[in-house]
Copies of this chain bind each other. A is one copy, B any other.
Amino acid sequence: MVPHLTTALTGPLLDLERNFLDHRTEIEQWFRAQWQETRPPFYGSTDLRNSGFKLAPVDLNLFPGGFNNLNESFLPLCVQAAQAAIERICPDARRLLLIPENHTRNQFYLQNVAQLVAILRLTGLEVRIGSLSPEVTEPTTLELANGATLLLEPLERRGGSLGVKNFEPCAVLLNNDLSAGVPDVLRNLDGQWLIPPLHAGWHTRRKSNHARAYSRIAQEFAQVIGIDPWRINPEFGVCGQINFKERTGEECLAAQVDALLGRIRAKYKEYGVSDEPFVVVKADAGTYGMGVMTVRDASEVQGLNRRQRNKMSVIKEGLQVQEVIIQEGVHTFETCADAVAEPVVYMMDHYVVGGFYRVHTERGRDENLNAPGMHFKPLAFETCCTLPDAAQGPDAPPNRFYAYGVVARLALLAAAVEIEETASTELEQAAA
């Protein structure tokens, strides 16, 4: 089953997919040239929004947590792409230590870890799992609902080397986004690959850095295929000094929201879109959909009540929000049995290896579907994202998935550029 795409527009609808399809040679050639210059991350996933007139990424995750949601028939693609990633980043690695998130009670996340371990083992690596969680004080076997088992082991630091008992890994792969900061145990590793680099973690990463990199890449790409970059690029603004608890910075935020809504309104007018523009206010350093708010008018961010302020002021691991990004909202026009369906695309190295829809019945098409405690039903992509078929309509599943894969790779490329550009941050922090 593939979600149905509806939109109020008939004009530009499918123009974008058609354009991607017509320019697929230029597109692939352009990506090939980019990846010659920029090293792709080991892995990543991106949340897309598809309004028909606009297809854009709203988040790029460098610690993807849903490998268990991919179509099983994509497993060989994942293995092949993981082989490429290992050859590119750590070709001599024999033993790999995977460091997952600490939420050891989330069955869905644990199934993701199990799937990731399976993929990595199939590339011919010995894989063990080292946990940062203080609760894991001895080897702990978890039985998963899908029948798989996971062995979590406490991390052991021996000099410059990180491992678990009787296991000296050549490479350490993070599936933990470091929202709480970098644990000392991960610092100053000597002779071990640490993937991705520490500054890819959310303690350092800023959504606005990514948005800036994406914006430049979208401009360049749009020129190659002759489209308005707005069709793939959400507009954004940043507010640097905000304190929701102490109610400072509200004016700055309101002004930014107003300006951004104005720009979107102008674009909607240009394209004859009659939907109501909205923006999404997010913690610049946040993740997991915490500290996120949908706004249709600047007045909504002024005079927030206590509940709203509390919701916005704290993100994962109890961090206080200081900087926010205001991102153009993109309506979700894909539905599946009347439920809103949003695509998530998975990549390893620079290859698209699959994806799934987050299908959510309880939320509107302009709301954030990746909110805490939110339950979505994953719907794996039916076909893969690399088989566009010009003989079919631009909206046929292989072509829609191809379009997803194109935009997802743009976001991945932006993340790669972002990580390169922010590498000095890590050095500065290490020196401090």
CB contacts under 8 Å to B, within A10-64, are 24-29, 31-33, 35-36
Asked if residues B384 and A76 are in contact (CB atoms below 8 Å), the reply is yes
CB contacts under 8 Å to B, within A141-197, are none
Contact A35:B125 (CB < 8 A) given known A25-B94, A79-B387, A80-B81: no
Which of B28, B32, B77, B124 contacts A32, CB < 8 Å?
B124
A251 touches B (CB below 8 Å): no
What is the chain B residue whose CB lies nearest that of A36?
A: B91
Asked if residues A80 and B351 are in contact (CB atoms below 8 Å), the reply is yes
Nearest CB of chain B from residue A168's CB, rounded to whole Å: 15
A126 touches B (CB below 8 Å): yes
Tell me which residues across on chain B come within 8 A of A32, comparing CB atoms: 83, 86-87, 91-92, 124
Asked if residues A84 and B84 are in contact (CB atoms below 8 Å), the reply is yes
Tell me which residues across on chain B come within 8 A of A121, comparing CB atoms: 25
Contact A125:B25 (CB < 8 A) given known A32-B87, A91-B36: yes
What is the chain B residue whose CB lies nearest that of A35?
A: B87
Q: What copy number does this chain have within its complex?
A: 2
Tell me which residues across on chain B come within 8 A of A27, comparing CB atoms: 124
A388 touches B (CB below 8 Å): yes
Tell me which residues across on chain B come within 8 A of A87, comparing CB atoms: 32, 35-36
What is the chain B residue whose CB lies nearest that of A28?
A: B124
A75 touches B (CB below 8 Å): yes
A386 touches B (CB below 8 Å): yes
Contact A122:B387 (CB < 8 A) given known A25-B94, A87-B32, A91-B32: yes
A73 touches B (CB below 8 Å): yes
In Å, the complex CA distance between A91 and B25 comes to: 14
Asked if residues A351 and B386 are in contact (CB atoms below 8 Å), the reply is no
Asked if residues A80 and B386 are in contact (CB atoms below 8 Å), the reply is yes
> Which residue among A26, A29, A36 has the maximum number of chain B CB atoms within 10 Å of its CB?
A29
Tell me which residues across on chain B come within 8 A of A92, comparing CB atoms: 32-33
Q: Would you give 16 A-B contacts (Cβ < 8 Å), ordered by A?
A: A25-B121, A27-B124, A28-B124, A28-B125, A29-B125, A31-B124, A32-B83, A32-B92, A32-B124, A75-B387, A76-B384, A77-B80, A80-B81, A83-B351, A122-B387, A122-B388
What would 6 more interface pairs be, CB under 8 Å, given A25-B94, A27-B124, A32-B92? A25-B126, A26-B124, A32-B83, A32-B86, A36-B91, A80-B81
- The 10 A-B residue pairs whose C-beta atoms are closest, nearest first, are A28-B124, A76-B384, A79-B386, A29-B94, A25-B124, A25-B126, A36-B91, A29-B124, A76-B386, A76-B77
